Chain A
Amino acid sequence: MELISGAEILTRCLQEEGVEFVFGYPGGAVLEIYDAIFRQEQFKHVLVRHEQAAVHAADAYSRSSDKIGVALVTSGPGATNALTGIATAYMDSIPMVVISGQVGTSAIGLDAFQEVDMVGCSRPIVKHNFLVKDVRDLAATFKKAFHIAKTGRPGPVVIDVPKDVTINKCAFEYPESLTIRSYNPPTKGHPGQIKKAAQLLAEAKRPYIYVGGGAVQGGAGAQVTELVKLLGVPCTNTLMGLGALDGTDPNFLGMLGMHGTYEANLAMQYCDVLIAVGARFDDRVISVPSQFLSNPKRIVHIDVDPSSIAKRVKVDVPIVGDVKHVLTDLIAALKEGNLRPNPDSLANWWKQINEWRKPNSLLYTPSDELIKPQSVVQKLWEITNGEAIVTSDVGQHQMWAAQYYKFRRPKQWINSGGLGTMGFGLPAAMGAQLANPDAVVACITGEGSIQMNIQELSTCKQYNTPVKVLSLNNRYLGMVRQWQEFFYGTRYSHSYMDALPDFVKIAEAYGHIGFKIENPADVEPVLREAFSPALKDRLVFMDFRTDPSENVFPMVQNGKGLNQMDLPPHMHGLQQVPFENNRDYGNLC
């Protein structure tokens, strides 16, 4: 058998895995790998401008498709720059493989130039990681890494490859299959538990379905939709779950949580049977567990990761399994037993929910003088027919994007929900565009976040990724300013962005098109132009000067219950308990 170098083996492994793109940045420890990449044509390399962006792009490539993103960085600073991106993917359970260069095996531990203990540094933020010390282990390690990344609860896997391992030679054979005796992720849920869940749903008076990112990653959008339609019950999606049920579906109550809608949050508080699907009762979703449970409810929790179950909230029916499988079986059990919630109770529940819906908690006061950030997102939704892939950064603009863009399908909404990483949006848009070359990709960002990875405008130019950047520029780190307004006596400590650059010129300097929009009347025409066929192949940067005083509502403050929201001005004084005339609630309220 022909002996080939570790670097060549590495590229062959990536080819075997069907990798289309590797996002990376070269350096000393990975020169052999880059040479092997130069000598092959099967996959393309995307040269980013900062390693963090390489990882975000690979991450979004995974998030927006069913493929696995791959990033390649050099040792030392290349590796440490990648860490934020790895943690971002880890918190949102995104499958990804990150290859980091390492100093030669004989130099490890000697504080060599550009040496960092990458396996140690990344350990708490990866699903698993490997240091490959022998070229003969390389192929099997890649096989394992891809398998681990995409199965069970997905997550990033790091492979640290010392330079001599990329030089040394051995025969290449890619393993066809593998078994890892210590790793057997669950698939099917326990039939007895599924039956119990079906029974609970049939007994429910106020059923509610709460869907998280697990349903999106687990490809269970169709099953969620079928379950909701079959039972006619209300449904909410978390920030990570948006798109699992169509945002325009009449049974969809909007996003829930800290900035969830009035109806989604109150339904969460007052439901009596809750089906949690691939969600984890996160602090930004249910706030304080004791408050959440102060109105008793029976909970079914479906998740592929047993450690997500009973972590913050005790549940009545835990079901460990792949959400897609479990929901399919649950739907079958409901159909088979003809199990449905009582129609009268359900009608009553809907009557109550529709009362909660009436005041429209996402209403804001339009203005002729100042651009309302919410209106920009709404217009974007109209102009793109709700079909765009939308990425975001982190802050107020992220919440407005989540609230006002009604996502139609899973994997259409790409944001850093768990880690909350500013600088995610633009490289993510790039990765999503490369995974979906025909899709319209928009990046909703702010003037703070965009500057954390603005250098990627250069990468976008090099690789012709014509994403549309909508910067909601309010001259403030908006979410920080909002908290300072609410909780720190309007002392706006270091949240004002002075000396902002001319973003139009920046966009132009990078070879793109820039627009500055200051007048509400110009929002629609500029968006129409940006998304017109004429500019289909161009990156357009839109600098919207928005109302700096706008806040995100509703808001559940830290420590408060979901029924203690801060509401927008038009809803002040509204009681956040079920209405008197619709008491089907026994002693719950």
Chain B
Amino acid sequence: MRHILSVLIENEAGALSRVTGLFSARGYNIDSLTVQTTEDPTLSRMTIVTHGSDDVIEQITKQLNKLIEVVKVIDLNEADHIERELMLIKVRATGKDRDEMKRMADIFRGRIIDVTEKTYTVELTGPGDKLDAFIKAIDATSILETVRTGASGIARGERVLKI
């Protein structure tokens, strides 16, 4: 099953490689990983999307906690949460496709953030499956380039991940 793990980790050189090294050494999957410093510059927040059986996810959580620099780990899937991902997608926009592409971007609440005579660059935010749906909805041959950040997640309600 797919899980989103949120990790608070010391903002130190090499900390990221300990996490990725752990995943590859123990044969765990990383579907996506995002990381950035938090409002406290000594801490980074990582969102790792992974999949595996409950036993595997339990081991991943324990192994992450075992890393000296990891401060806290939560599995967002244990409760309600919000997940967002950003995609920048450059598409061919010529002839009759140009209007169609604009309409599709509107339907998906995307924003066109760069325009040339032949292309649009669309910014799209949402859960990963919404971004997937957009890619599916437009003509595959018109896609020139896609860039996705991977998911970021946060718990709903008053639950917070903090020291």
Contacts and interface: CB of A to CB of B under 8 A. Distances in A.
A binds B: yes
A310 B55 contact: yes
B55 A180 contact: no
B61 to A, nearest CB: 9
A120 B18 CA distance: 9
Interface of A: 119-120, 123-124, 127-128, 131, 148, 180-183, 305-307, 310-311, 314
Contacts of A120: 17
Nearest to B65: A306
A95 to B, nearest CB: 14
B13 interface: yes
Contact of B68 (A124, A131, A183, A310): A183
Contacts of A182: 9-10, 68-71
Contacts, number: 37
A307 B66 CA distance: 8
B139 interface: no
Contacts of B17: 120, 123
A71 B63 CA distance: 27
Nearest to A157: B68
Contacts of A310: 55, 58-59
A148 B68 contact: yes
B71 A181 contact: yes
B163 A181 contact: yes
A131 B13 contact: yes
B21 A306 contact: no
Given A181-B71, A310-B55, A305 B14 contact: no
A123 B66 contact: no
Given A120-B17, A123-B17, A307 B59 contact: yes
Nearest 5 pairs between A and B by C-beta? Answer: A307-B62, A182-B71, A128-B68, A124-B25, A306-B62
5 contacts: A123-B21, A306-B62, A310-B58, A311-B59, A314-B55
Contacts of B69: 182
Contact of A131 (B14, B70, B163): B14
B38 to A, nearest CB: 14
Given A123-B18, A131-B14, A181-B71, 17 more contacts: A119-B14, A120-B17, A124-B21, A124-B25, A127-B68, A128-B68, A181-B163, A182-B9, A182-B10, A182-B68, A182-B69, A183-B68, A306-B66, A307-B62, A307-B63, A307-B65, A307-B66
Contacts of B25: 124
A445 to B, nearest CB: 31
Contacts of B18: 123
Nearest to A144: B68
Interface in B50-96: 55, 58-59, 62-63, 65-66, 68-71
Contacts of B71: 181-182
A153 to B, nearest CB: 8
A7 B145 CA distance: 53
A447 to B, nearest CB: 34
Contacts of B21: 123-124
A336 B13 CA distance: 51
B83 to A, nearest CB: 25
Interface residues of B, number: 20
Contacts of B14: 119, 123, 131
Contacts of B65: 306-307
A385 B9 CA distance: 52
Nearest to B26: A124
A119 B16 CA distance: 13
Contacts of A127: 68
Nearest to B8: A182
Interface in B128-145: none
Contacts of B10: 182
A314 B58 CA distance: 12
Candidate in B18, B59, B62 with the most chain A CB atoms within 10 angstroms:
B62
A124 B17 CA distance: 10
A307 B57 CA distance: 11
B69 to A, nearest CB: 6
Nearest to B14: A119
Nearest to A320: B62
Nearest to A119: B14
Contacts of A128: 68
B59 A305 contact: no
Interface string B6-32: 000110011001100100010000000
Nearest to B9: A182
A310 B18 CA distance: 23
A265 B78 CA distance: 40
A128 B68 CA distance: 7
Contacts of A314: 55
A182 B17 CA distance: 17
Contacts of A180: 68
A180 B14 CA distance: 17
Contacts of B63: 307
A56 B16 CA distance: 30
A480 B58 CA distance: 37
Nearest to B70: A182
A299 to B, nearest CB: 15
A180 B68 CA distance: 9
A323 B62 CA distance: 19
Contacts of B13: 131
Interface in B96-150: none
A157 to B, nearest CB: 9
A310 B58 CA distance: 9
A191 B69 CA distance: 28
Nearest to A130: B14
B36 to A, nearest CB: 18
B128 to A, nearest CB: 29
B144 to A, nearest CB: 35
A119 B18 CA distance: 10
A128 B12 CA distance: 13
Candidate in A127, A148, A182, A307 with the most chain B CB atoms within 10 angstroms:
A182
Contacts of A148: 68
Nearest to A153: B66
A314 B69 CA distance: 28
A124 B24 CA distance: 10
B142 to A, nearest CB: 42
B12 to A, nearest CB: 10
Contacts of A306: 62, 65-66
